[in-house]
């Protein structure tokens, strides 16, 4: 394990922010800390980095107990949500900072910084100041700065949070590729479930200061441990007292075993997919079907259809 956090508790004054949080991050993995705002993600990350002291619990990095170690000596690369660029230094000096602290020879620093600049595609910006970069460029600079000291683990706090949707998507894919190249154990915080599923190989769902579930994206999506995780990881609808993913709902023209009658209220086309909004008795539900199926069933407001969870559908009883 590259990182082990054991039974971490942390409170700010009277508000408890982390409650008995235990997380394991395997070496070389790309782990997402996923959860709603205020769930304690940043706090956990900061506890791992040593920027915050836990009230109780232990943090191990590469097997060594670092709970009482200063952030300077944990060999952790930290990337902040708002870049935390050294705004009075050029891009080059930002990235060189950690190496200069370590008193590495000048030519070695020069070589390493230029390698990193290439890695994050900022070679032509070495002499610029952070204010002269775009948000995405600044974030890549911050990443290069953290990578420069060859950290044991890389911690990213909502690395793409402040960027617009398009840049976010690009950087996400880029981060995945970078991780495949560099292989440094990475934990990144996000509250975007799509981002976590797309980029991470392990997801830890953190909400209300507790770990709700952890596992591969596949596991947490398909076998959510509870209603919260199921709702947080993707769209859900309620069918007969159970939560189902709308794409797992089967629609038929004729009644089938276990199906219920529903009245179509609205049909919304979203490109290839069709969103069917229905009324089941006194409840609303919706299903996501393909355009082909919608046309075959001639779905239109007022029509009657029969619905049931599909054969492979994962459902969860609503409590």
Ligand X SMILES: Nc1ncnc2c1ncn2[C@@H]1O[C@H](COP(=O)(O)OP(=O)(O)OP(=O)(O)O)[C@@H](O)[C@H]1O
In degrees, rounded to 5, the angle at the alpha carbon of residue 58 between the alpha carbons of residues 54 and 62 is: 125
Q: Where are the alpha helices (DSSP H) in 6-160?
A: 41-49, 91-101, 106-119, 135-148
Decide which of other proteins, ligand X, Mg ion, none touches 39; Cβ closer than 5 to 8 Å per partner kind.
ligand X
Return the number of the residue (83 or 232) whose C-beta is nearest other proteins. Answer: 83
Q: How far is the CB of 43 from Mg ion (least distance, A)?
A: 8
Least separation in angstroms between residue 87's CB and ligand X is 22
> Which listed range, 40-48, 163-171, 210-218, 254-262, lies at the site for Mg ion (CB under 5 A)?
40-48
Residue 35 touches which member of Mg ion, ligand X, other proteins, none, C-beta under 5-8 Å by kind: ligand X
Under rule CB under 5 A, residue 42 binds Mg ion: yes
Which of 75, 52, 35 lies closest to 233, judged by CA? 35
**Could you tell which of ligand X, Mg ion, other proteins, none binds residue 49, using a CB distance below 5 to 8 A set by kind?**
other proteins
Yes or no: say if 21 and 206 are a contact pair by the CB < 8 Å rule: yes
- Give the tokens for residue 189: 């915080």
Q: Which of other proteins, ligand X, Mg ion, none does 25 bind, CB closer than 5 to 8 A by kind?
A: none
Positions that interact with ligand X (CB under 6 A): 12, 17, 35, 37-43, 191
Shortest CB 89 distance to other proteins, Å: 5
Contacts of 287 (CB under 8 A, 6+ apart): 237, 246, 247, 249, 251, 275, 276, 278, 307
Q: Could you give the CA distance from residue 224 to residue 272 in angstroms, rounded to a whole number? A: 27
3-class secondary structure, 77: strand
**Residue nearest Mg ion (C-beta atom):** 42
Half-sphere exposure of 163 (CA within 13 A, CB side): 23
Q: Are 277 and 294 in contact (CB under 8 A)?
A: no
107-126 residues in contact with Mg ion (CB under 5 A) are none
In the complex, the smallest distance separating the C-beta of residue 39 from ligand X, rounded to whole angstroms, is 4
Phi-psi region of 16 (alpha: psi -120 to 50; beta: other; left: phi over 0): beta
Residue 224 CB coordination number (10 Å): 24
CB of 93 to ligand X, least distance (A): 29
List beta partners, residue 303. Answer: none
Nearer residue to Mg ion within complex by CB, 42 or 213: 42
Return the number of the residue (98 or 217) whose C-beta is nearest other proteins: 98
70 or 319: CB nearest other proteins: 70
Q: How far is the CB of 47 from other proteins (least distance, A)?
A: 13
3-state secondary structure of 168: helix
- Binding interface with other proteins (CB under 8 A): 49-51, 70-74, 76-78, 80, 82-90, 93, 97-98, 101-102, 129, 142, 145-146, 148-149
User: CA of 267: how far to CAs of 10, 115, 119, 220, in Å?
Assistant: 48, 53, 47, 30
| Closer residue to other proteins in complex, CB, 62/84 | 84
CB of 33 to other proteins, least distance (A): 17
Provide the minimum distance between the beta carbon of 101 and Mg ion in the complex, in angstroms, as a whole number: 26
The DSSP code for 157 is S
| Interacting partner of 12 out of ligand X, other proteins, Mg ion, none (Cβ under 5 to 8 A depending on kind) | ligand X
228 binds, among Mg ion, ligand X, other proteins, none (CB under 5 to 8 A by kind): none
Residues that bind Mg ion (CB under 5 A): 42
């Amino acid at each position: 394990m590259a990182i082990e956090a054991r039974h971490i508790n942390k409170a700010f004054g009277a508000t408890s922010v982390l409650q008995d949080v235990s997380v394991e991050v395997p070496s070389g993995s790309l782990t997402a800390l996923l959860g709603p705002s205020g769930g304690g993600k940043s706090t956990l990350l900061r506890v791992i980095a040593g920027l915050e002291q836990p009230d109780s619990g232990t943090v191990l990095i590469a097997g060594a107990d670092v709970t009482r170690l200063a952030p300077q000596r944990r060999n952790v690369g930290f990337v902040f949500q708002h870049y935390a660029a050294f705004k009075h230094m050029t891009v080059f000096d930002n990235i060189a900072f950690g190496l200069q602290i370590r008193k590495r020879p000048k030519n070695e620093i020069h070589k390493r910084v230029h390698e990193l600049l290439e890695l994050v595609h900022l070679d032509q910006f070495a002499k610029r100041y952070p204010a002269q970069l775009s948000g995405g460029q600044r974030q890549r600079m911050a990443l290069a700065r953290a990578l420069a000291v060859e950290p044991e683990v890389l911690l990213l706090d909502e690395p793409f949070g402040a960027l617009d949707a398009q840049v976010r998507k690009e950087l996400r894919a880029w981060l995945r590729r970078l991780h495949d190249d560099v292989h440094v154990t990475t934990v990144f915080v996000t509250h975007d479930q799509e981002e976590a599923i797309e980029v991470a190989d392990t997801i830890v769902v953190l909400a209300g200061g507790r770990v709700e579930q952890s596992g591969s994206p596949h596991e947490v999506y398909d076998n959510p441990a509870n209603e919260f995780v199921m709702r947080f990881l993707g769209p859900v609808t309620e069918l007969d007292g159970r939560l189902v993913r709308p794409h797992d709902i089967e629609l038929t023209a004729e009644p089938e075993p276990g199906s219920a009658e529903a009245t179509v209220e609205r049909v919304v086309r979203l490109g290839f997919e069709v969103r069917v909004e229905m009324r089941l008795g006194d409840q609303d539900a919706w299903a996501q079907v393909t355009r082909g199926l919608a046309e075959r069933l001639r779905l239109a407001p007022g029509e009657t259809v029969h619905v049931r969870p599909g054969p492979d559908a994962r459902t969860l009883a609503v409590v």
